[in-house]
Amino acid sequence: MPRILAAILAALLTACVGGPSSSSGSGSASGCVPGSTNLCHCSATQTGVQSCNDDGKGYTPCVCGSGGTANPGDASTITAKDGAANTSSDTATAPTDGDATAANPDASDTGTAIDQPVFTKDLTAETEDAIDWSELLDPEDTGAVDTGPSTADLPPKDASSDDCPERAKIVYVVTKGNQLLSFVPDKLQFKLVGNLKCPVAGGQTPFSMSVDRQANAWVLFVSLMGQGGPVMKVSTENAACQATNYQMGQQGQELFGMGFSSDAPAALTEKLFLAGTTSFNFSLQGSCTLATLDTKTMVVQTIAPLPKQLGCPDLSGNGNAELFGFFPQTNPAQVVKIDKATAQPIKSWPLPNGAFAGVEAWAFAQWGGKFWLFFKSNGDLSSSVWSLDPVTGNAAKVLANTGHIITGAGVSSCAPTEAVKGP
């Protein structure tokens, strides 16, 4: 579950105070690239898109979702990584395969564990040729291309119920750079499944995810302005995306962590639980509410508020009908077993003091009798991986600087719940 707290707070504060706006709704006086587009705000709640004029001397009026135009000066402006000002919203035309830039959006945030070149992403540029991402993502730099988990990487057949495909028995993560990777905990091994090319607005990135018993990943996206976006159904076989009819912001659930939990121990049915709140409340590290999302109807139903002092967690369930939350904002950070009917804590496991300070991004999965924590502080180059043994309470960092900013993790209720030999 991505928790890019500083970026979300800064974006929301910029939107609240208005920020620098376009002078007339038609672009800046410094010119633009003919045919390029800019995101813009039609009102406080409505967004649109504007295009650069053919003469390159300004932008067209903001085109809103209803076909109208925005009032001049409604666009909020944020600053990209390279310092250039860009207007942003959630309703820009979704990028196509031909819109990819010669950039690896995750590589610029990598740590020292993976030796790969640094690429930066220009959010406004367009190129005719999409880059071959696979050539940039081999951590061993051998020229080989990872194609996802092999049969040897998967857990044994008896790890879960027989109705589950083998792909549903391992952990998956999404990154700030729009990548889906598998993670085999007992081998501490990541493999690239694919690069996400979901039909979302420009600049939106994965925020959180979970995986169902059919090995489908459900991924929530977030905008550059820190606002909740769509939920996409993603294949864990090839990272192919499928849009859903999920309506954003239901029951106040704009940004949330999520996790599947079986309806009863060893049951073949499960529910997707959410722990979330509004974008603004999340930016202030406020409390969250427990809810469920029906993946057939895409309707959210509220259960109860989580204890206010805990903040907002990422969630992970299992085949024993249990639900757990990773709360990195408490002091100390902790993993909590949550009552699915009342949202109240049942048991907690405190984590080492100071180890999870300065949280920026975090994610969470239960697998093989252990909790697996993916964490990045605001001083880290990339995410690290921790394991927590709920029997002994011992926690240890097992991978440092993975080379990825991991914003979400998911595991199905098919995954093994008993101890598996490994780190």
Confidence of residue 285 (pLDDT cuts 50, 70, 90): confident
Choose the weakest-confidence range: 124-133, 185-194, 265-274: 124-133
Residue 56 lies in a domain: no
Q: Which residue has the tokens 């991402």?
A: 133
Confidence of residue 33 (pLDDT cuts 50, 70, 90): low
Residue 185, both tokens: 């905990």
Residue 257: domain span = 136-410
CB 167 within 8 A of CB 153: no
In what helix (H) or strand (E) does residue 8 lie, and over which residues does it extend?
helix 5-17
Residue 109, both tokens: 């945030």
Give the Cα separation of 89 and 42 in Å (integer): 10
Residue 178 lies in a domain: yes
| pLDDT digits 0-9 by tens, 328-370 | 999 999 999 999 999 999 999 999 999 999 999 999 999 999 9
The pLDDT value recorded for residue 360 is: 93
Q: Which residue has the tokens 């010669």?
A: 102
The pLDDT value recorded for residue 276 is: 96
Residue 268 lies in a domain: yes
- We report the CATH number of the domain holding residue 190 as 2.120.10
Give the Cα separation of 82 and 101 in Å (integer): 15
User: pLDDT above 70 covers what percent of the chain?
Assistant: 64
Give the Cα separation of 219 and 211 in Å (integer): 9
Count other Cβ atoms within 10 Å, centred on residue 190: 23
Residue 332, both tokens: 């100390």
Residue 192 lies in a domain: yes
Query: How many domains are there within the chain?
Result: 1
Q: DSSP string covering 306-327, please?
A: PPGGG---EEEE-TTS-EEEEE
Give the Cα separation of 75 and 83 in Å (integer): 18
Amino acid at 24: S
Count other Cβ atoms within 10 Å, centred on residue 280: 18
What predicted TM-score, i.e. pTM, was given to this entire model?
Answer: 0.66
Give the Cα separation of 38 and 40 in Å (integer): 6
Q: Is 79 helix (H, G, I), strand (E, B) or coil?
A: strand
| pLDDT digits 0-9 by tens, 396-411 | 999 999 999 999 999 9
If one compares 60 and 141, the residue with the highest pLDDT of the two is 60
H helices present in 194-338, as ranges = 279-283
| pLDDT digits 0-9 by tens, 289-305 | 999 999 999 999 999 99
Omega before residue 34 within 30° of 0, cis: no
| pLDDT digits 0-9 by tens, 216-243 | 999 999 999 999 999 999 999 999 999 9
Residue 379 burial (C-beta neighbours within 10 Å; 0-12, 13-18, 19+)? exposed
Contacts of 224 (CB under 8 A, 6+ apart): 11, 78, 88, 123, 203, 204
Q: What is the average pLDDT value for the chain, to the nearest integer?
A: 76
Residue 309 lies in a domain: yes
Q: For the CA atoms of the chain, what is the radius of gyration?
A: 21
Q: Is 350 helix (H, G, I), strand (E, B) or coil?
A: strand
CB 19 within 8 A of CB 10: no
Give the mean model confidence (pLDDT) for residues 374-384: 96
Residue 219 lies in a domain: yes
| pLDDT digits 0-9 by tens, 194-220 | 999 999 998 999 999 999 999 999 999
Nearest to 2 by CA among 299, 341, 404, 416: 404
Residue 323 lies in a domain: yes
Contacts of 162 (CB under 8 A, 6+ apart): none
User: How many helices and strands in the chain, by DSSP H and E?
Assistant: 2, 25
Give the Cα separation of 158 and 133 in Å (integer): 35
Nearest to 366 by CA among 185, 208, 237, 219: 185
Confidence of residue 65 (pLDDT cuts 50, 70, 90): low
Confidence of residue 43 (pLDDT cuts 50, 70, 90): low
CB 410 within 8 A of CB 172: yes
The pLDDT value recorded for residue 205 is: 97
Give the Cα separation of 258 and 407 in Å (integer): 12
Residue 55 lies in a domain: no
